[in-house]
Amino acid sequence: MHKISLIAAMSENNVIGIDNKLVWNLPVDWENFRNVTKNSSFIMGRVSFESEHKLLSEKRNIILTKRKDYTSDENIETANSIEEALKLLKEEEEIFILGGQNIFEQTIEIADYLYLTIVHHSFKGDAFFPKINFDSWELTKSVKHEKDDKHAYSLSLNEYKKIRK
């Protein structure tokens, strides 16, 4: 059985994006994203895939869309449901779900791991990470980065494991 992990960066007020873009540029978060997701395949929503800030795996990228005829110049596969996307990647050891809001809302219940960067600031946004029930998640790692000349905000790189009762 493969591990299902969500990976996201959100502000203190749960903002993850605005106008289909990210709200910050934090190099240490990009570095962490690349390290954590190395050699893994991704699932993402069609809207996030069309963002100028989209992130693609060098392995497989499954784009969720209800459209039957969706195509792209990028090397992607499409799925019409979460179940279909997971089935396409059933041989993979760990799958990363990259968002956005709509997809996080539908997958937080089935996720086993959560890689969540918390940007210690409040922003205006139009896309949000779902409310997290922290009774269901154990914090297994947290690395804090202070503000510096490359990072306008301090941030915490947190990792959680689902508590299965």
Compute the least distance from the CB of residue 100 to ligand NAP, in Å: 2
Compute the least distance from the CB of residue 161 to ligand NAP, in Å: 19
Q: How far is the first Cα of the chain from the last one, in angstroms, to the nearest whole number?
A: 18
| Residue 86 contacts ligand NAP per CB under 6 A | no
User: Could you say which residues in the range 52-81 bind ligand NAP, by CB under 6 A?
Assistant: 64-67, 80-81
Those residues whose C-beta lies under 8 Å from the C-beta of residue 36, and which sit 6 or more positions away, are: 7, 96, 115
- Rounded to an integer, what distance in angstroms lies between the CA atom of residue 24 and that of residue 52? 13
User: Could you say which residues in the range 3-42 bind ligand NAP, by CB under 6 A?
Assistant: 8-9, 16-17, 20-22
- What is residue 152's three-state secondary structure? coil
Parallel, antiparallel, or unpaired for β 94-97 and 155-162? unpaired
Nearest to 119 by CA among 54, 38, 31, 22: 22
Nearer to ligand NAP, 5 or 100 (CB): 100
Q: What is the DSSP letter of 35?
A: H
- Rounded to an integer, what distance in angstroms lies between the CA atom of residue 124 and that of residue 14? 10
- Rounded to an integer, what distance in angstroms lies between the CA atom of residue 98 and that of residue 51? 12
Nearer to ligand NAP, 128 or 161 (CB): 128
Nearer to ligand NAP, 18 or 143 (CB): 18
| Residue 43 contacts ligand NAP per CB under 6 A | no
- According to DSSP, the residues that pair with 11 across neighbouring strands are 119
Taking residues 113 to 132 in sequence order and writing x for each that binds ligand NAP by CB under 6 A, - otherwise, the string is: --------------x-----
40, 41, 51, 57: which one binds ligand NAP (CB under 6 A) = 51
Which spans of this chain sit near ligand NAP (rule: CB under 6 A)?
Answer: 8-9, 16-17, 20-22, 45-48, 51, 64-67, 80-82, 98-103, 106, 127
